Chain A
Amino acid sequence: MSATLKRREVVAQLLADRGDLMVVAGLGSTAWDCTAAGDHPLTFPLWGAMGQAAMMGLGLALAQPSRRVLVVTGDGEMLMGMGSLATIGVQQPANLSVVVIDNERYGETGMQATHTASGVDLAAVARACGIAHASTLTRESEIAALRAAVHAQQGPNFAAVKVVADKVPIVLPPRDGGLLKARFRRALLGDAADTQ
């Protein structure tokens, strides 16, 4: 079954009325998606660190247990850090959700197939790692429930959202890593960010 969901629409819906949600955006297309939905100081968009997005979400979720954390990343990025699903499964952070925008392609390098195109099931991996709420979504009608889960469902939560493998306009966040770090910490911690 070929995917029908559009990545930009899915991410925009997940980030609508985000409140105090904190977001880690995996490098490449998902960073552009999150920026297209509205650049935000509490989004940490990655320009590198492939395979690290979910672990950054875990560190953040453990540091801020009263706040919700969402990792939005791609299938190629998640495949590179699949062990982190096991680590998250062991830690069981109740406030963490990982959403993989799965177009079954490496979008930044020429749309080559990822392993999910050959049937590797990331939601099944997540479930096997102890992430109880883990599913693969293919329908528009399922996204509202996913957004609700990101904001309120006891985690850890995982979803692979199958999306159309089309090229969409690139929308770039700031590139300076020091700036992205500092603005995130100031938005979260206030003046304490500068004295910690």
Chain B
Amino acid sequence: MTEAMSEAIDWPLEVHRILSGAKLRQVGYVPDAGHKRLIELCRADSSMRAVALTTEEEGIGLAVGAWLGGERCALLMQSSGVGNIINALGTIKECRFPLPMLITMRGEYGEFNPWQVPMGQATPAVLEAMGVVVQPVREAAGIPAAVDAALRLAYNSYVATAVLISQKVIGIKSFQEQAAR
């Protein structure tokens, strides 16, 4: 699929609609260029509480507390943030908390920053090692269905799920392009 085609679907809008339809009431996030529009949509939605975090690890606690209180919480992060949640994922696995995570990949498809590559390349293996069900998506058109499936799996089976959104979809090629977004 070409970049022009991948932009034909407004995936953040579709994903927001799916989160809203699945009654996600809390969304924890660390600001991220790939999730910029989805974060804005969640922040503008009065049925959701979008909670900015200082580190992704805080999101695990937020999601645990939300579920104890009867609310669904999704986390939005970049693959580098996955490195910040590993020990906390132990709580999710031991207690069988449902936890959907939408992760934009760095260090993957055409990365320009070498410092992003180690964590980006380790992301799927690290998540799987901690019991997270990983669903990679390489095309924008596949994201909504993958998010829908990840939510169903998380809440029907009480597990952590991660949709890994490829850097091919995000399409950032330089710092200059990222800063301009």
Contact = CB atoms under 8 A, between A and B. Distances in A.
A55 B69 contact: no
A177 B91 contact: yes
Given A62-B49, A87-B52, A55 B58 contact: yes
A157 interface: no
B61 interface: yes
A184 B63 CA distance: 15
B38 interface: no
A180 B87 CA distance: 19
Interface in B46-76: 49, 51-55, 57-71, 73
B70 A59 contact: no
B13 interface: no
A177 B91 CA distance: 8
Contact of A63 (B54, B60, B65, B90): B65
Given A52-B88, A55-B65, A177-B94, A62 B70 contact: no
Nearest to A184: B68
A63 B26 CA distance: 8
B173 interface: no
Contact of B62 (A48, A59, A83, A188): A59
A33 to B, nearest CB: 20
B55 A83 contact: yes
Interface in A167-196: 177-178, 180-181, 184-185, 188-189, 192-193, 196
Interface residues of B, number: 33
B107 to A, nearest CB: 24
Interface residues of A, number: 40
A47 B97 CA distance: 15
Contact of A52 (B25, B57, B73): B57
B96 interface: yes
A44 interface: yes
A172 B61 CA distance: 22
B70 A188 contact: yes
B145 interface: no
B131 to A, nearest CB: 13
Given A62-B49, A84-B58, A87-B53, A49 B91 contact: yes
A192 B91 contact: no
A59 B66 contact: yes
A91 B51 contact: yes
Interface of B: 25-26, 49, 51-55, 57-71, 73, 87-88, 90-91, 94-97, 155
Given A59-B65, A178-B95, A192-B70, 10 more contacts: A48-B87, A49-B61, A55-B59, A60-B69, A61-B65, A62-B69, A87-B52, A178-B96, A185-B68, A193-B70
